[in-house]
Amino acid sequence: MKSCRHFLRKWGGSMRRSLLIARANLCRSKGQTAVILVLLLAASAMLNLWLILDMDYKSNFDRCHDRLNAEHVTLLLNSEADGLKEYVRETIEKDETAAEYCIDEVLSMVGDFPYNDGEVNTDFVILEKQAALKRQIGRIEIVEEGTYTSGVYLPMIYGMGHGYSVGDRIHMTIGNNEVSYTVCGFLNSVMAGSHNCSMSALLLTEDLYQELEEKGYAPRSMLVSVRLRDRTESEDYEASLKNAVSLQYPDIRTLSNSYTLVSSSRYISQMICAGIVSAMAFLVMLIALVVISSNVIHYIQENMKNLGALKAIGYKSGQIIQALLVQFVGVTLLTALAGIGLSYALFPAVNDMMISQTGIPYKVRFLFLPFVITIATAGGVVALAVWLAARRIKKIEPITALRQGIQTHNFRRNHVPLADTRAPLSAALALKTTLSGIKQNVTVCITMLVLSLVVVFSGVMVENMIVDMEPFVRLIVGETADS
């Protein structure tokens, strides 16, 4: 017990001395500390933002999928052929892969409507509002609703940004016929909530649904929704069910999608954004580490005499290194906390941008695991960088440090002897300084290399993603048809 108290007393005294040195260092290097603060703030904010997008944002699809008891395979059959419904039932029930299913009568037809200075063209799955809200599998929820009693409910993706608002008039083409409806609200459908799903759900109030059915603009169809025991088999099951129906009824038009297809297509922008943010976080953190390492090396060179004095009065090398660790790691942890707060302040804007592509609502909330990983990563890499740069303190003898680091005998090769060189004195001194500070020069080169990469990368992204997207689109999808 006495030895434990003695250890704690000794450790506390050592920590107090380290804190005094760290405090003095911070007071002397306010400008350099400010630069490090800015870099660490940006790096920790982007790191936490990336972890949220990578670890939780995609999981939101599964949470929404489970909440609405959504299907893993959707099959739309544009036909009322005799015996079709019974055949589909028998086919599903014979396969043990399916856990449950339901078959609903809907209207379906290819259509389009104006959106975002262009036109959306997709296969409409048209359902009556109340029937859609009561579906056992693939339930649809209303996320925004006005007071209008007659009109259409659009997927929420078309209400984001400069899209439609409740009360707007939307002019649509269903098949070869034009219709006009009032937007009553917006819906969320996991498997049919966007043109990225290969089919897009529309809800009509009862009066308009009956009117459209009587006009015959959209033929009656069957919407088959199947939940599987293992969702990873969704693509295989989709193909087998579609093939089975096509073999028995080759003349009917079928449309389908699967859990795997929809989850990847709806979250492609999230994956791209997460990749870009992670790369930027890595680059900025790398710059911060290079700056911190350079700062430690510069501190040792500039304060060589002080280090000698500290060692002469009894400070150990470990205590001086500990002071540097306390200084930089302490600043890092506080800045990382601020960076995490900044990431949550920026996330609503990122979330709005993501929802405009995914079409699935996401509630911003505090996530503990990304918080811990961000703090641990920032603190760990900075501590490693400081320790690697400060190890040389152990090799400095007090007497050598008091002489500003000059040793009485230096057996290193003199690459530029000033007494014999024919080069101009200024050029010879510059070359001598460059060759004697190889580590510093490497540090400066790495810093400028990473900074140049970040600046050029950012400029290219702005040019290709904001100013002129056409080359980027052509790179992804190739040539696009005019008609």
* 273 and 257 assigned to the same domain: no
426 domain-assigned = no
pTM for the full model? 0.75
Residue 445 lies in a domain: no
Helix, strand, or coil here: 136? Answer: coil
C-alpha span between 354 and 161 (Å, rounded):
11
Task: Check: CB of residue 220 under 8 Å from CB of residue 80.
Answer: yes
239 and 328 together in one domain: no
Asked which of 231, 264, 297 is the last residue of a domain, the reply is 264
In this structure, what are the phi and psi dihedrals at residue 200, rounded to the nearest 5 degrees? -130, 130
Counting the structural domains of the chain, the total is 2
In a domain, 156, yes or no: yes
Q: Is the dihedral of CA 22, 27, 29, 33 positive or negative?
A: positive
For residues 321 and 215, state if they share a domain: no
Kindly state whether residue 420 falls inside one of the protein's structural domains.
Answer: no
Choose the final residue of a domain: 217, 243, 264: 264
Taking CA atoms, 58 is separated from 74, 224, 303, 443, in Å, by 21, 26, 51, 38
Q: Are residues 253 and 276 in the same domain?
A: no
- For residues 377 and 285, state if they share a domain: yes
**What span, in angstroms and rounded, lies between the C-alpha atoms of 155 and 185?**
9
| Domain assignment of residue 483, yes or no | no
Q: Tell me whether residue 316 is in a domain.
A: yes
Instruction: Look at residues 396, 398, 381, 404 and name the one whose alpha carbon lies nearest to residue 293.
Output: 381
Q: What is the span of the domain harbouring residue 125?
A: 71-264
Q: Considering the domain boundaries, does residue 133 fall inside one?
A: yes
**Both 246 and 277 in a single domain?**
no
186 shares a domain with 95: yes
Whether 447 is in a domain gets the answer no
Distance CA(259)–CA(234), nearest Å, equals 6
Same domain, 42 and 92: no
Strand partners, 105: 222
Q: Are 39 and 183 members of one domain?
A: no
Instruction: Find, among 224, 225, 182, 222, the residue nearest to 205 by Cα.
Output: 182
Taking only the tens of pLDDT, the chain with its 483 residues reads 555 555 445 555 556 666 766 676 666 677 778 888 899 999 999 999 999 988 888 888 889 999 999 999 999 998 777 888 899 999 999 888 899 999 999 999 998 998 877 788 889 999 999 989 988 898 999 998 888 889 999 998 888 777 789 999 999 999 889 999 999 999 999 998 888 888 899 999 999 999 998 888 888 899 999 999 998 999 999 999 999 998 988 888 888 999 998 888 888 877 888 888 888 888 888 888 888 888 888 777 777 777 777 667 767 777 778 888 888 888 899 999 999 999 999 988 888 888 877 888 888 888 999 999 999 999 999 999 988 888 877 777 766 656 555 444 454 666 666 666 666 767 777 776 666 666 667 767 777 777 787 778 778 777 776 677 677 666 666 565 665
Q: Which of 221, 249, 264 is the last residue of a domain?
A: 264
Instruction: Count the Cβ atoms, other than its own, within 10 Å of residue 474.
Output: 11
